[in-house]
Amino acid sequence: MSGAQLGGVLSLETVLVLSRAVGPAAPFAPRRAGSLLWDDTASLRLQGDAPLFPMTVIDFAHTSYRDDAAWHLQLGSDLNGAAMGSMLLIVNEKAEEVATAFAHAARPGPVDRVVLSMVYSDCARIMVEHALLKEEFVDDADFAEESLGATLVNLFHRLFPGRTVQDLRRLRQNSPSLFATELQAATRILKEA
């Protein structure tokens, strides 16, 4: 089955049962065929169920954003809030190259790949900077699964393996241009283009 046909949540249930009746057994020990010995359930959200990153395409003329901006990433302030309700990439429909790149994201052309790389890099930059501005974003922070904080922690560790939050926070404060260069390298801007 192709990935485009898959969606929803895949639930896998593993069950261990007694296959046949057992003669005399210790009290409280299973002895009947079909007795449940062990079970476990795992769920996996399939990609086709929802966009991986919430986004919308609108005309910025009807918003408070500048008409000539290509995109805006909106992030919530509560790191414990649900990630999907706390992030929204808003693409200006008048920025035709950007809107077209997202429309062709499944099969991007050369220009689309460059645009998508730039948007990805910029969104990662905004998200990392947003996290570093939050006092509660620290190395040993424990955010709920699928929260904005957990998403930012995962992004941070993917982009900067082995680095500490405090290290990057200091770098951003003391040398913003070097921090920008580190982020550019970490997001591999234009490498996938």
- Render pLDDT for 144-181 as a digit per residue (tens, 0 to 9): 988 999 999 999 999 999 999 999 999 999 999 999 99
For 147, the domain range is 51-186
Clarify whether residues 80 and 175 are in a common domain: yes
d(CA 47, CA 41): 19
Bridge partners of 41, per DSSP, are 13
Q: What is the pLDDT of residues 31-50, one digit of tens each?
A: 888 888 888 887 665 554 44
Clarify whether residues 75 and 158 are in a common domain: yes
Q: Is residue 193 part of a domain?
A: no
Clarify whether residues 59 and 125 are in a common domain: yes
Maximum C-alpha span of the chain: 81
Place of tokens 């009807």: 62
Q: Is residue 145 part of a domain?
A: yes
Number of domains in the chain: 2
Contacts of 58 (CB under 8 A, 6+ apart): 90, 91, 92, 93
Q: Is residue 192 part of a domain?
A: no
**CA separation (Å) from 147 to 34, 159, 166?**
40, 18, 21
d(CA 7, CA 58): 26
Clarify whether residues 76 and 141 are in a common domain: yes
